[in-house]
Structure 1
Amino acid sequence: MSSLLAPKNVLPFTNRQTVKTPATAQQTSKKFQEALTKATELRSNTSTKTTQTTPSENTYAVLQGDTLSEIVASESKKLGISQSRSELYAMVNQIAVHNHMANPDTILPGQQIDLGKLGSANSTPATNPASMSETVTQQVSALPTETGLQSPLTGKITSLFGMRTHPVLGETLHHDGIDISQPTGTPVKPLSSGVVTFAGNNGGYGLMVEVAHADGLTSRYAHLSSLSVSKGDQISQDQVLGAVGQSGMTTGPHLHLEIFRQNSPVDPLTVLDRSQIEPTFLVAGARSSLRM
């Protein structure tokens, strides 16, 4: 009886040896994918739980069209906090810093803003310019004496010093300066030589420059579109501080000018002659009266 021979190139099975069929390989691959998906979902959920924060009772969710100034003004009113324009702008800046905002003018719908500072006892910072340091005083004293103060620019005065209805908020607030209308980009110069004590974004004031002058005067130039000086600069009367704009809380391009004497706000028209600011406007008015 002849023995059966195994076909060539076919290896005999060894004990306990198995061969995976295509179906078994597909099942293994499917299980691996399911496990990978579950692991990814678990990692995602863990990350979300770690970074998600629960809004507090002092948190405000930004709506379409909101501005930080309007939010602060509205929430302050609800808390019974009465603020002047300067105090409001200072508070807007403080809220922006507290929420790590690079630009208070840029907020997005859905953004969470912590307004807890509004409820604190000492939430409102000093609104007047800080007293000049000894170094700044020495710098100002060393500046050349000038014959008089100049208007930062010429243009039509659109809002005077004193109580008024705020054009954005619609509330009666004290206006600590005057507004001079000019197109965006118009150069702005200082009242006189001095030392720049602030240059940057200041809440509702937008881009602002503050200058310390001789005789205890300090001036502020707000809502600028650009800055040409930096804090600590010693500037002359002919130097450009920046350009007119509409940054901050405003309805259009203009310069907001504030003047402080010994840290108290004064009407700029008691320091400057109105004819220095709007000579063309006054001449046109005189001509009109002559025709009548």
Structure 2
Amino acid sequence: SIITDEVRFVHPIEKKVAVSSAFGLRRHPILGRYIEHKGMDLPVPVGSPVMSVADGEVVERGHDRRAGNYLTVRHNDGWYSRYLHLNTVTVRKGDRLSAGETIATSGNTGLSTGPHLHLEIGYKGVALDPAPLLSGSPMLLARRMR
């Protein structure tokens, strides 16, 4: 597939911080076994604003033992983003969002070693490394996805 410039990603938090756990295979810090980490962790204090990485629609809002409070947002052309370990969620299922709109506050819910935002970005059901997507231009994305 060729990705168009329909989706441009913005950072989900106000300040850029060092990634505390990157995308890919890693030893889970709580479970102790190797598991595919489908996103990246951004260490931020509880209550930090979390923004949508692109225009979209909230398709899932929930809580589970691992993810804690979470949101899933559907974007154009098969793209989606997920936000895990949230403290408070300020949007509802069905809400239309703009890129950069505040959707939640960061937290430490679910299986978590400390306050952070776990961000996933995917395309047609496949999780991708968010780091280059947040820093790349649409043309770079198109070349990477071919």
The separation in 2 between residues aligned to 1:238 and 1:272, in whole angstroms, is 12
Residues 107-256 of structure 1: pairs in structure 2 closer than 5 A:
148-153=8-13, 154-256=16-118
- SS of 2:19's equivalent? strand
AA aligned to 1:183 is: P
- SS of 2:134's equivalent? coil
Query: Cα deviations across residues 73-108 of structure 1 (Å, max 9, x unaligned)?
Result: xxxxxxxxxxxxxxxxxxxxxxxxxxxxxxxxxxxx
- Give the length in aligned residue pairs: 130
The separation in 2 between residues aligned to 1:203 and 1:164, in whole angstroms, is 20
- Runs of at least 5 residues in structure 2 that lack an aligned partner in the other structure: 137-146
The separation in 1 between residues aligned to 2:135 and 2:101, in whole angstroms, is 21
Higher relative contact order (CA 8 A, sep 6+): 2
Greater share of strand: 2
Judging changes above 3 Å, is the alpha-carbon distance between structure 1 residues 235 and 264 closer, same or farther for their aligned structure 2 residues?
A: same
- Displacement of 1:149 in angstroms is 1.2
- Displacement of 1:215 in angstroms is 2.0
Aligned to 1:86: none
- Runs of at least 5 residues in structure 1 that lack an aligned partner in the other structure: 1-144, 275-292
Aligned to 2:144: none
- Displacement of 1:162 in angstroms is 0.6
Identity %: 38
- Rg comparison, structure with higher value: 1
- SS of 1:259's equivalent? strand
Q: CA RMSD in A?
A: 1.7
Greater share of helix: 1
Check conservation: 2:53, 2:100, Cα contact below 8 A. Answer: no
The separation in 2 between residues aligned to 1:203 and 1:149, in whole angstroms, is 28
AA aligned to 1:253 is: P
AA aligned to 2:30 is: V
